[in-house]
Amino acid sequence: MIPGSGVLNAGEPANAAAGDTVTLVEGGTFCLSDRHGDITPARSHGLFFRDARILSRWELTVDGVTPEPLSAQTPEAFTGQFVSRRAPGAGRADSTLLLTRERLVADGMREIVTLHNLDRESTVVTLVLHVDGDFADLFAVKEGRAVASNAEIAVIDGELVLRERSESVRGVTVSASGNPIVAAGALTWRIVIEPRQQWQTEIVAQPTWGNRKLSTRFQRGQRPERSGPGRKIARWRKSSTNIDTDLPALTAVLRQTESDIGALLMHDERRPGRSFVAAGAPWFMTLFGRDSLLTAWMALPLEVALSLGTLQQLAETQGRRVDPITEEQPGRIMHEIRRGPDSGDVLGGNVYYGSVDATPLFVMLLAESWRWGAAKDKIVALLPAADAALRWAREYGDRDGDGFIEYRRATDRGLVNQGWKDSFDGINDAAGRLANPPIALCEVQAYHYAALRARADLAEGLGDTATAGRLREEAESFRDKFSQRFWLPDRGYYAVALDGEKRVVDALTSNVGHCLWAGIATDEHATSIIERLADSTMDTGFGLRTLASDMGAYNPMSYHNGSVWPHDTAIAVAGLLRYRHLPGAVELAERLANGIIDAAAAFGGRLPELYCGFPRTQFPTPLPYPTSCSPQAWASAAPLLLVRSFLGLQLDVPNRRLTVSPRLPSNWGRITLTDLTFGDTTVCIDAEGESAKVTGLPDTWSLTLD
């Protein structure tokens, strides 16, 4: 827990929404509205549940007019307060009627509307809530496609009932206190409010499935902190490590990190207590292989249970058969899960497997979770999934037998690019030409190398030294082959990829930072990469560009060709500190990390999914990318990876070893981690500069302070 806590990555970016959009999110439910609190049909607004928009209109009028907005606040990610006023009456300069809307989302939506009469006279008010639903698939809304209304609307027992016309599966009921007049599409209250008094109604939108009302995670009249999501975030904060710093901007972003990851936590209804993290709001409130794995890795300093739940959830959906439509293959870790009405048309089914990097990342996280204290029996139970993942790499990932892991979509439905830069134009050469598949990405090879070493570490820890030796030998042989084929000696960096003709795709990209993080780079190569990343063509002053500014496809306002992604920069920082013994590595890591922290401050303490890659010398604050997800899981978790990397924090719980080797930036001052728990041990770490102190570590442990 951080003291004082309060409140598009897959394929193509979402259709732009106006800058006044307010997002509330809790698990698989989210709401997009304007700053009035209204959900308007002409916008990409809505109340979304199970990947469908169950409410496409939720507009409140007072005396036939939209109230004038005064403020919009989100005390927590799942709650919002919207304050407005009735327009002043004829001949009056000031309004005397204040309206507040207190909204909560959690498997449905609750809104408490309060009218405050500030006048000395009674006032008559006609309050109308206009309601509609189109049950559009989330993808259709995300892409801005025209969607016809698909709702049957009826009034049943005083409730407004909306049902999906085509499939009759999804629905929502709207009920309210205060004796409204309920008609198709509207609830109306005619009210007299005495002087200096207030009037209130509580409105609930409750999803239905197959004509059965689903349980919401709140009760009528319940305070937000006592609701299901309120109790969930309280448990998360209580179980998480306390992190405090002397740098206010860093403390603020860490506070927001904890809150946002807590809001993005999801739970398997069939597995009580198992948690994992959704990729991001608003469009990716679901389990994503790559995003969920990397976020869980970054969040290990907060809680190891999140990584274990993510691994278990992904293992259950691991590929079992060959299916070109969903791109499922034996051993492959899935890309995303969807439950929307168009999932079959868009993805070929509810589970889509078109990711080339989630599978090695799974093996990497399994070993890291073991080092951080995940229970031995849980790790052993997941070893078959790890072995199946490595078999996938050999039998399906290596499409042509050259030893490298490639991707090519199986049908025209799949993602053209299946690494983390998965937009259609995300992989190109120095001249800006698109790479032709099958494509072997440099960072995927680095992940595969790290996965082999991770599985070797697991084997050694469990007493299988023969397997450990064989896998390490395979990893080193692979590393040599990678160096020979991907290194560009005249450029001083790794090619971003090999294309379908085995030609190098020679653009300078941030992907090489992932190669440092995974440890595949030799010291000689890493030295040159550090110099290239430090150049102004890559370093914006607010983080690393995804593509160098002197490349043919560079566009600082693009999704993947010149923008800055905080998680991407954080991974590069972790990679630089892995090579801290090399000239310039620590200095560049400090510069990049401080740039990210400054960017977070410019965005109000919350790092968005991405932002534009203009140089800081041109614009003193980072320019937002209009459709960036926020909160977004790996962006939110990125500051945790920065802190861990600068602390030099390494754990080996099975062998009872702790290493703290800080290289903290001078402007960070002191950092304190309290209640850092791993296995059955809880410690406190105080660090500043290059010194650290650890308290609470049992005498049976080995401590290295370097």
- For the stretch 123-165, pLDDT in tens is 999 999 999 999 998 888 877 887 777 789 999 999 999 999 8
Residues contacting residue 159 through CB under 8 Å, at least 6 positions apart: 173, 174, 175, 182
E strand residue ranges, 646-690: 650-652, 657-660, 670-678, 681-688
Give the pLDDT confidence of 667-678 residue by residue, as tens digits.
999 999 999 999
pLDDT at 145: 81
pLDDT of 340 strictly over 70: no
> What's the rounded mean pLDDT across residues 571-589?
99
CA distance 135 to 164: 6
Q: Is the dihedral of CA 472, 473, 478, 484 positive or negative?
A: positive
| Mean pLDDT value of segment 271-296 | 90
Q: At what angle do helices 305-316 and 358-371 cross, to 10 degrees?
A: 140
Q: CB-based contacts of 228: which residues, under 8 Å, 6+ apart? A: 106, 107, 217, 218
Read off the tokens for 162. 């909306």
Percent of the chain with pLDDT over 70: 95
Residue with the larger pLDDT of the pair 167 and 474: 474
Mean pLDDT for 651-664 is: 98
Q: Do the Cβ atoms of 301 and 638 come closer than 8 Å?
A: no
Confidence of residue 595 (pLDDT cuts 50, 70, 90): very high
Mean pLDDT calculated for residue range 24-44 = 91
Q: Report which DSSP code applies to 668.
A: G
Contact 330, 320 (CB under 8 A): yes
Measure the CA–CA gap between 51 and 277, rounded to whole angstroms.
Answer: 16
* Structure confidence by residue, pLDDT tens digits, 183-203: 999 999 999 999 999 999 999
Global confidence as pTM: 0.92
Whose CA is closest to 15, among 515, 550, 627?
627
| HSE (side-chain half, CA atoms, 13 Å) at 517 | 29
| CA dist., res. 9 & res. 560, Å (int) | 10
Structure tokens at 555: 């566009």
Q: Which residues contact 38 (CB under 8 A, 6 or more apart)?
A: 45, 58, 59, 60, 66
Give the model's confidence band at 283: pLDDT under 50 very low, under 70 low, under 90 confident, else very high: confident
**Residues 433, 551 contacting (CB under 8 angstroms):** no
- What pLDDT does 222 receive? 87
Give the mean model confidence (pLDDT) for residues 406-424.
95
| Tokens, residue 164 | 């999906």
Give the chain's mean pLDDT.
93
| Predicted pLDDT at 18 | 40
Maximum mean pLDDT: which of 46-55, 162-171, 226-235, 682-691: 682-691
- Separation between Cα atoms, residue 571 and residue 37, nearest integer Å: 37
**pLDDT of 45 higher than 80:** yes
Q: How far, in whole angstroms, is CA 308 from its chain's centroid? A: 17
Tally Cβ neighbours within 10 Å of residue 381: 13
Maximum distance among all Cα pairs of the chain, rounded to whole angstroms: 89
pLDDT value of position 604: 93
Q: What are 354-379's pLDDT values in tens digits?
A: 999 999 999 999 999 999 999 999 99
State residue 599's pLDDT score.
98
CA–CA distance, 502 with 505 (Å, rounded to integer): 9
Residue 217 banded pLDDT, cuts 50, 70, 90: confident
